[in-house]
Chains A and B, each alone.
Chain A
Amino acid sequence: MSDPRLPATFENPGLPPHVHRAADTDPRAAKRAERQVAGLFTLSILSTIGFVVSYFAVKNDTEVFVPFIGATNLLNILLGVFLALALLGIGFGAVHWAKTLMPDEEVVEERHPIRSDDATRAKAVGLLEAGAESAQLNRRPLLKATAGTALGLFALPLGVQLAGSLGNPTKALEELKSTIWDVKDGKPIRLVRDVERTPIKAADVSIGAVFHVLPETIKDSHHVLEDKAKAAVLLMRLHPNDFAADDLGKKARSWGYEGIVAYSKICTHVGCPVGLYEQQTHHLLCPCHQSTFDVTRDCEVIFGPAKRPLPQLKITVDAEGYLVAPQGFAEPVGPSYWERKK
């Protein structure tokens, strides 16, 4: 049924006939386009002037109410809008000019294979070989070997300098283990409120309360942020009956004081502060990646990407009734690392 003379596939019909625009045939349309483009450029000119005037005329702290945005800085709005109009005027003007008045007939450019022809390739190879030959590269293996080695090694000093001087990693393992809760002179360290830095009486901590806590030693710290980044602690008081009856619950309770327990605030996942305490369920939630820890069971992970419980800080009270930590953390705080258990 099909005609054997028909080709197997369709053939490219070539460029369709060109259709002229209004501005190509109608001088009035062309004039109109010209006026539109000039109008857009004029908008740009006026906006630039507007920018400069508002830069000098408007005060830096003037607030203005803009519908849908609210109270906002007037200078920022004026500068931004004028800059935008100055730029958009040029942009729209140029594009409109191109679309209405510049030639719209498409041009055809031939492509050629990216690959060089064989003669050119042979010539390049010949040049390379002749160059290597004239430099006596192959005849003098000693030069080849030493030059190669020297070139291979020359970046080493730079690499050594960089890696060697960035920071001293030899103290890393020791420092990652220690915090300023570590007791030096046998004297227990008082717990103080974060920000106010006042000591906390056990009696001041009511059931359900949460305190953000630092060691009293923070006042002597020369590296406040670095020490805080490891020593931040969260203190909560639970009803003693709220702790789980299993070993974990018993341990948590015995490391605390009358239901007051203290845990490292630095998440064991990647180190965000575990700042959200849910009083009813006794869960601690890390706001970064939602690891959830159960305070009644020694801060075991009950949900989320963290693996390990938050380290507990053993606490008791001193003679004046203030909460103190008789010893530092029993394990490194914060995110895991290769030698954590070593």
Chain B
Amino acid sequence: MSTAASARAADLRAGDPKSSAPASASAKKAGAVASWVDERTGIAKGASFMLKKVFPDHWSFMLGEVAMYSMIICLLTGVFLSLWFIPSAGQIPYEGSYLPLKGITMSEAYSSTLAISFDVRGGLLIRQIHHWAALMFVVSLSVHMFRVFFTGAFRKPREINWVIGTLLSMLALIEGFAGYSLPDDLLSGTGLRAAEGFIRSVPVIGSYVSYMMFGGAFPGEAIIPRLYAVHVLLLPAVLIGLFTAHIILVMVHKHTQYPGPGRTNENVVGFPLMPVYTAKAGGFFFLVFGLLSLVSALVTINPIWAYGPYDPSPVTAGSQPDWYMGFADGALRLLPGWLEFEIFGYTLSLNVFLGAVLLIPLMYTITGAYPFLERWITGDNREHHVLDRPRNVPTRTALGVAAITAYLVLMFAAGNDIIAIRLQMSINDITRAFQVLFFVAPILTFWVTRRICLSLQRHDRDKVLHGRESGTLVRTPEGQYYEVHEELNEYDRWKLVGFESPAPLALPSGKDANGVASKDAKKEIRRAKWSNFFFKSRVEPVTPAELATAHHHGEHEAIETPAGAGAQAIKQAKQD
């Protein structure tokens, strides 16, 4: 070896100094391991960036965590199940230990699911955790989406993450459907039977697509192994990929925070990853897992042994999908038969196609597009890192509630038979009522929600201007009574006044300075109309001047008379 080369080799080692003497033997050992890893990965740079990352604290930020943990628990228990489950529609006589089904011909998929439930020690527990965690996954990600929507967390720069979340949510539904179809019991087989009908309703290509997916006539032996590949390989890979991108973007953007004293658009206030957030979030994983285990120990879910193997001929009353598919099933129950008709001798089944095929992509397209629509209306191109209190954006909140209402009407419609039996009512009346409610209820809840938001905002104004009721009654020498109001301190006050309330865009004249009709006039007018719809009903935050005026009026008089520009805003909102 030449001297130059050995000098270079020495240089390469120059960066690997022996670390200074650690305190204890175990710390020495840990330090040595860490040093070994860092010399090969340089991980300390990333770690020091990550470990001091700050996460704001709020219960609603844990909803996404629940979704994440439920997904991890599904992956974990899913691996267990895959060791015993046989994804085959091959028909065999049942030889397991569940006596009522002894000797009955069934698919290997159903037989192996029975084996997991009765013959594998602890298998039932794992199966039930898997199913409960899947339900929890969809619940928590839905509620997490509600939180993000109602607080405006989807605004710039987080639109991409909203779209990723939307995709995750849609894929979770499909993943769930694929999963509960696998055991090939009577209930899930009936679900697949209906799914084949859905596919057939696709115009022009429906019957061919059905034959391709099922590998021939329904049910065939292809669908179970294919659904299995989709359920354990394809969709989990896509879900994990999207989820990773989702989390990376959260890191890049830094978490949003609720408005409060000291919290601004330029900072993030909370606890560092090490140690507080690690302990809390890590501990929370165990809490979610523990709760799911407890529920799985005590509450039976999807008792497939009670349904029997799939057979195209029998069916049970009260057939329902898992809850998250309920809205699509409800839509199928509500869509009237006259939506099926013939054109040029071809049959178009919109009564099936709209609810079973189009509804889910349509719903998620609207959801995914919402941030872009709102941005177009508001014209707001700034970054937003401080969340909105839902009441401070009444129209968005009302739109969200209206959408949830429409969804819930469809979901409850999927239980129209159960409702009819439990309440001893006519199923025909209930179905008709749901058909009407689907159109009427969202309008009603939109209006009511907007009114509630405005009232809450007015209440906030009132609290800022006149303080909170102290409960102390004072009698004046003249014999008058009044209640002493305590003024809010500046920190509490900031939570109620620290928001924007933009005015709607003025309706443009449609002409430029020379009186010539502008090219974009139509677009501008349309946008101003939408802006008016979005911002018309509003209450402005209290200004320091208004507060000073309220003080000037004196503590006890101020109770009756709101004053200043804010009062004008209130009047305005009342008229709307």
**CB pair B279 A102 closer than 8 Å:** yes
Q: Is A289 located at the chain interface by the 8 A CB criterion?
A: yes
Chain A residues in 8 Å Cβ range of B342 = 341
What's the Cα separation between A90 and B281 when bound, in Å?
Answer: 12
Contact in complex: A80, B296 (CB < 8 Å): yes
Q: Is A7 an interface residue when CB atoms closer than 8 A count as contact? A: yes
Query: CB distance A336 to B122 under 8 Å?
Result: no
User: Counting CB contacts under 8 A, is B525 at the interface?
Assistant: no
Residue from B97, B200, B222 whose CB has the most chain A CB atoms within 10 Å: B200
Least CB separation from A97: chain B residue = B279
Residues of B within 8 A of A91 (CB): 283-290
Known: A6-B544, A10-B493, A114-B157. A90 touches B431 (CB 8 A): no
Question: How many interface residues does chain A have, given as a range?
Answer: 35 or more
User: Which stretch (A27-35, A183-191, A235-243, A305-313) binds chain B?
Assistant: A305-313
Asked if A10 contacts B497 (CB within 8 A), the reply is yes
Is the CB–CB distance between B351 and A76 below 8 Å?
no
**A121, B147: Cα distance in complex, Å:** 34
Q: Which residues of B contact A110 (CB under 8 A)?
A: 266-267
Interchain CB contact under 8 A, A229 and B312: yes
CB–CB B207/A225 < 8 A: no
Q: How far is the CB of B347 from chain A (nearest CB, A)?
A: 4
Q: A109-B268, A173-B207, A337-B201 are in contact. Are A12 and B385 (CB under 8 A)?
A: no
Which of the 9-residue segments A135-143, A250-258, A265-273, A319-327 touches chain B?
Answer: A265-273
| CB-CB under 8 A for A12 and B262, given A94-B286, A107-B270 | yes
Question: Is A98 a contact partner of B197 (Cβ separation < 8 A)?
Answer: no
- A232 and B313 contacting across the interface, CB-CB below 8 Å: yes
What are 25 A-B residue pairs whose CB atoms fall within 8 Å in the complex? A9-B497, A9-B541, A60-B119, A61-B118, A88-B290, A88-B294, A95-B280, A102-B279, A103-B276, A108-B269, A111-B265, A169-B207, A230-B217, A270-B352, A288-B319, A289-B333, A305-B351, A305-B352, A334-B197, A337-B201, A337-B207, A337-B210, A337-B347, A340-B347, A342-B345
Give chain A residues whose Cβ lies under 8 Å from the Cβ of B282.
94
Query: Shortest beta-carbon distance, B92 to chain A, in Å?
Result: 13
- B253 contact from A73, A92, A114, Cβ within 8 A: A114
A209 CB–B CB distance under 8 Å: no
Q: Given A270-B352, A335-B197, 12 other A-B contacts at CB below 8 A?
A: A6-B543, A9-B544, A10-B497, A12-B261, A76-B125, A88-B291, A91-B285, A176-B207, A269-B352, A305-B332, A337-B201, A339-B346
Write out the residue numbers on chain A whose beta carbons fall within 8 Å of the beta carbon of B283. Answer: 90-95, 97-98
In the complex, are the beta carbons of B125 and A275 less than 8 A apart? no
Counting residue pairs across A and B whose Cβ atoms lie within 8 Å, the total is 354
Query: Which of A1, A92, A102, A176 is the one whose CB lies under 8 Å from B549?
Result: A1
Contact B275 A307, beta carbon cutoff 8 Å: no
Partner of A13, one of B261, B293, B294, B334: B261
The docked-state distance in angstroms from the alpha carbon of A335 to that of B356 is 13
User: Is there an interface contact between B317 and A276, defined as CB atoms closer than 8 Å?
Assistant: yes
Contact B349 A226, beta carbon cutoff 8 Å: no
A49 to B348, CA, bound (A): 62
Query: In the complex, what's the smallest C-beta–C-beta distance from B102 to chain A, in angstroms?
Result: 14
CA distance A69 to B300 in the complex (A): 9
Residue in chain B with minimal CB distance to A342: B345
Supposing A91-B285, A336-B349 touch, asked if A108 and B262 sit within 8 A by C-beta, the answer is: yes
Q: Given known contacts A79-B297, A81-B297, A226-B220, is B212 in contact with A163 (CB within 8 Å)? A: yes
Taking the closest CB of chain B, its distance from the CB of A100, in whole angstroms, is 11
Q: Identify the 10 closest CB pairs spanning chains A and B, nearest first.
A: A80-B297, A94-B283, A270-B197, A91-B286, A15-B262, A87-B290, A88-B290, A91-B287, A335-B197, A307-B340
